[in-house]
Amino acid sequence: MRVLLLGSGGREHALAWKMAKSSLLEELFIAPGNAGTKQHGTNVNISPSNFEEVKGFVLENNINMVVVGPEDPLVNGIVDFFEADADISEVPIIGPNKVAAQMEGSKDFAKEFMKRHNIPTAKYGTFTKDTLEKGYAFLETMKAPYVLKADGLAAGKGVLILDNLSEAKKELKSMLSDAKFGDASSRVVIEQFLDGIELSCFVITDGDAYKILPEAKDYKRIGEGDKGLNTGGMGAISPVPFANPTFLEKIKNQIIIPTIKGFKADEIVYKGFVFFGIINVKNEPYVIEYNCRMGDPETEVVIPRLKSDILDLFEGVATNTLSECDIQFDERSATTVMMVSGGYPESYEKGKQIFGLNAVTESIIFHAGTVSDGPAVLSNGGRVLAATSYGKDVATALKKSYESIAKIEFEKSNYRKDIGFDVL
């Protein structure tokens, strides 16, 4: 297969690393990729949101599979763009179409879906500028803390959790009337606060059959002890110790199966990865959110635990034969620790040379925000690289990730020293 992978983060490096191991791979291209993806294929300087350029590349290079990493092109309809164009409609593209991607692209769409299919989730109401007063009244019926969510994509920043009612009302107004998150907050979902511990679950589906991937837990806050600002994710572990077989069975029966059946019932053609953001409230799972792609940094621990050929699975998705694919997992645990630029998730500097990458022997270094400069590798984002390790358990794997990180240096680097603290 000649594969084009879209994206440039740690998730895409992990996917590229895995595809490079496939006997089905002939040639891999990554658009735009990073200094890490270059180890497994050819980076091409095309933005995943420029569909015309993606099309041109696919045609010129006889690409016969496109894999979409991030949510933006999916929510903006790259799959529909391919299907509607006779020149490329035969090229399989792995990811959900525009309607299906609304599971991530619109919180209200996802909540309506869950309500329709009896999937456990927080109680909610959806409001617009015209129903602001009703939104205030709804808030008055709720207890603190108050959860406000911009309906649309807001680069992970669209959720506010507020301790008092007057603040919640003020923020609701700012989201709806003053477009605090632009168009994304022209509708706002107000949700009951759920108190529990979160985990991420993943499924790959061809629309009929599905395969459950290993679960993971990511660490979103910048500071130790889960304090401080939200980030894209500072580390991840898999498996998740509290996700025992009974709890995973509940997730499957109460959430995963009703979701896949719900797609069919609603005639939503969903192909690709489904990411279930789940919260454990007194041993009962509830859906916090759906995403239409793999998680990052969860991919950096989930994909290393996949033993089967990922291109075989993608082919199963493309040809509606996923039910025939065999899927095997590594029994070992996997952990990843993110090294980030000092200052992230607020302002930070890029272009710092990274030293010590070749000294790492016991972990896989997945690049998240890097760029090559001749033989040098420079930082090129907030999240810079992820050190993934295997171990007989999470604690052993984490020890290796930290030993590897200690060998890597760049100016003003930062990382959390307590990944896994809450479950070990």
Interface pick for ligand GLY out of 72, 191, 298, 315 (rule CB under 6 A):
298
Angle, helix 310-318 to helix 10-19, in steps of 10 degrees? 100
Question: With respect to ligand GLY, which residue has the nearer C-beta, 73 or 92?
Answer: 73
Contact between residue 19 and residue 310 where contact means Cβ atoms under 8 Å apart: yes
Question: With respect to ligand AMP, which residue has the nearer C-beta, 191 or 206?
Answer: 191
Interface pick for ligand GLY out of 72, 191, 296, 300 (rule CB under 6 A):
296
Considering the complex, what minimum distance in angstroms separates the CB of residue 122 from ligand AMP?
4
Report which DSSP code applies to 288: E
Considering the complex, what minimum distance in angstroms separates the CB of residue 281 from ligand AMP?
9
408 binds, among ligand AMP, ligand GLY, none (CB under 5 to 8 A by kind): none
Give the chain's radius of gyration (CA, Å).
Answer: 21
Interface pick for ligand AMP out of 215, 289, 300, 315 (rule CB under 6 A):
289
Write out the DSSP string of 95-113: S--TTTTHHHH-HHHHHHH
User: What residues have CB less than 8 Å from 327, skipping those under 6 apart?
Assistant: 211, 306, 308, 313
Give the pair of three-digit tokens for residue 77: 């309809």
Residues of span 123-162 touching ligand AMP by CB under 6 A: 147, 149, 159
Contact between 188 and ligand AMP (CB under 6 A)?
A: no
Considering the complex, what minimum distance in angstroms separates the CB of residue 289 from ligand AMP?
4
Contact between residue 215 and residue 239 where contact means Cβ atoms under 8 Å apart: yes
Interface pick for ligand GLY out of 92, 235, 295, 420 (rule CB under 6 A):
295
Burial state string for 311-335 with b = 16 or more CB within 10 A and e = fewer than 16? bbbbbbbbeeebeebebeeeebbbb
Residues of span 136-195 touching ligand GLY by CB under 6 A: none
Task: Give CA–CA dist 326/335, Å, rounded.
Answer: 24
Considering the complex, what minimum distance in angstroms separates the CB of residue 291 from ligand AMP?
8
Q: Which residues bind ligand AMP (CB under 6 A)?
A: 122, 147, 149, 159, 191, 193-194, 198, 277, 288-289
Q: Which residues bind ligand GLY (CB under 6 A)?
A: 218, 233, 291, 295-296, 298
